[in-house]
Amino acid sequence: MVLRFDAAEVAALAADLTSLPPRMVKPIDGVFKSGAEAIEKTWRENAEETAGAHGKHYPKSIDHERLLGTSLAFEIGPNPAKKQGRMSFEMGSRNQPPHLDGQKAADVEVPRVERNIQTALTFLGL
């Protein structure tokens, strides 16, 4: 499952960043990587509170990885290769309501990522 959230400004900025001079790619990439790590951490923390005893391994299944062929895109969420990574906590199921731990993490972290990108661009003179 890929979590999608409304980050139109981040997506538009990422599209604009494709024209960055090479010297600027690395600092912006660092902002995106840090953002992915922060969303993962916050999502795990949220899941630790909501998963309950039946989902005790679920928080440890949440990770992030860079999407192949990109420098500014990451996939964040439960890894189906890990224990309980295929459980439907985020969007819920017939057995439980949606937990929305990832959405809540994105709601907190995406505005920080946007601010950090703007700060980096300002620092880089853009």
Residues 6 or more apart from 117 whose CB is under 8 A from it?
10, 13, 28, 31, 32
Residue 8: predicted pLDDT: 61
| 6-54 pLDDT, tens digit each | 556 556 666 666 677 777 778 888 888 999 999 999 999 999 999 999 8
pTM (predicted TM-score): 0.81
Tokens 């899941």 sit at which residue?
A: 47
| Strand, helix or coil for residue 99 | coil
